[in-house]
């Protein structure tokens, strides 16, 4: 399966194919210096398979996890590029999850004012969501994604076979973002997931999510309007993530239910439970509020949230700090239950 995504400057392909990792050189120009960026949570064989197809590969393996998404890691990648005399015609390939894509993408965006970037996402979350749309970033000053650039990849290569080695919790995180997109944009896709579509049928699931994400980012590449709706679940979700041991997708799962209502809320909660995702958090409303006000999404006169009142639709709403506090405390008093 092949999709293409239009950006302001060029169109790039997304290839979704069993075994695509072995045939990267058919999609990407690897006849040059290639920095392969991966982490120690990704099976070594994946980066090796990529490196084997490059004329001059340099592999960097970083520690797994969000804590790696720093300016220090970014500087380490830039130093490696300099040490190996990369020039503007060389390229960077990320092999891993969203952290690798964000970090390696930002290194590619900034080195010599930009070198080609290819993304090989190996987690369900990055395959359905973060690899598409050109957002790159590191965390800085205690704020997630506070330094970065819109920098689309030249190609995204998705090999669903990589999901076979992914642990169940990581798969569930990808389901959380998929459920999010279906809930806010596509009632038919949501119904298909309810009817049993899951990561067991990875190609169909990924294709469904990618169609939504592509349409949204093509309509609004730099997040001035429609794309903000992809933040459904993320306003409170990021605050939960920052204050708990939950993973990104798990935090977003719990975060969605604060801003869903009626039957839509019931249906989302039922899917989250089926995927063994959390529907509540034990982080106190006060902690969440403090983090929210520190977050870049908090503007002086309030916080923009995404609401889903009916599956397949969404609306943006600006909440004052008082109104946001009411949402947090009412949700907590309900025990987060639906």
Catalytically annotated residues: 113, 135, 177, 213, 223, 227, 231, 234, 238, 248
Phi and psi dihedrals of 302, rounded to 5?
A: 145, -170
CB 97 within 8 A of CB 66: no
């Amino acid at each position: 399966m092949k999709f293409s995504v239009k950006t302001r400057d060029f169109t790039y392909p997304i290839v979704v194919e069993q075994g695509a990792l072995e045939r990267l050189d058919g999609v990407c120009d690897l006849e040059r210096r290639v920095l392969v960026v991966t982490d120690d949570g990704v099976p070594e064989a994946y980066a090796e398979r990529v490196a084997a197809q490059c004329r001059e590969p340099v592999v960097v393996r970083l520690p797994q996890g969000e804590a790696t998404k720093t300016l220090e890691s970014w500087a380490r990648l830039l130093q490696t590029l300099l040490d190996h005399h990369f020039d503007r015609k060389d390229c960077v390939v990320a092999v891993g999850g969203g952290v690798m894509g964000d970090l390696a993408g930002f290194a590619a965006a900034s080195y010599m004012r930009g070198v080609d970037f290819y993304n090989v996402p190996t987690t369900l979350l990055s395959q359905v969501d973060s690899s598409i749309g050109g957002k790159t970033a590191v965390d800085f000053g205690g704020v997630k994604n506070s330094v970065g650039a819109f920098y689309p990849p030249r190609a995204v290569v998705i090999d669903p076979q990589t999901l076979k080695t992914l642990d169940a919790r990581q798969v569930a995180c990808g389901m959380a973002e998929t459920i999010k997109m279906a809930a806010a944009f596509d009632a038919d896709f949501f119904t298909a997931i309810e009817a049993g579509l899951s990561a067991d049928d990875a190609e169909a699931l990924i294709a469904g999510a990618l169609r939504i994400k592509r349409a949204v980012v093509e309509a609004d590449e730099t997040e001035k309007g429609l794309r903000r709706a992809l933040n459904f679940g993320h306003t409170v979700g990021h605050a939960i993530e920052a204050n708990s041991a939950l993973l990104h997708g798990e935090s977003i799962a719990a975060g969605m239910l604060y801003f869903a209502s009626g039957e839509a809320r019931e249906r989302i909660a039922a899917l989250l439970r089926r995927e063994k995702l959390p529907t509540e958090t034990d982080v106190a409303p006060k902690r969440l509020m403090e983090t929210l006000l520190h977050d870049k999404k908090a503007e002086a006169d309030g916080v923009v949230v995404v609401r889903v009142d009916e599956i397949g639709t969404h609306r943006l709403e600006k909440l004052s700090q008082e109104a946001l506090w009411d949402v947090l405390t009412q949700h907590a008093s309900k025990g987060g239950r639906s």
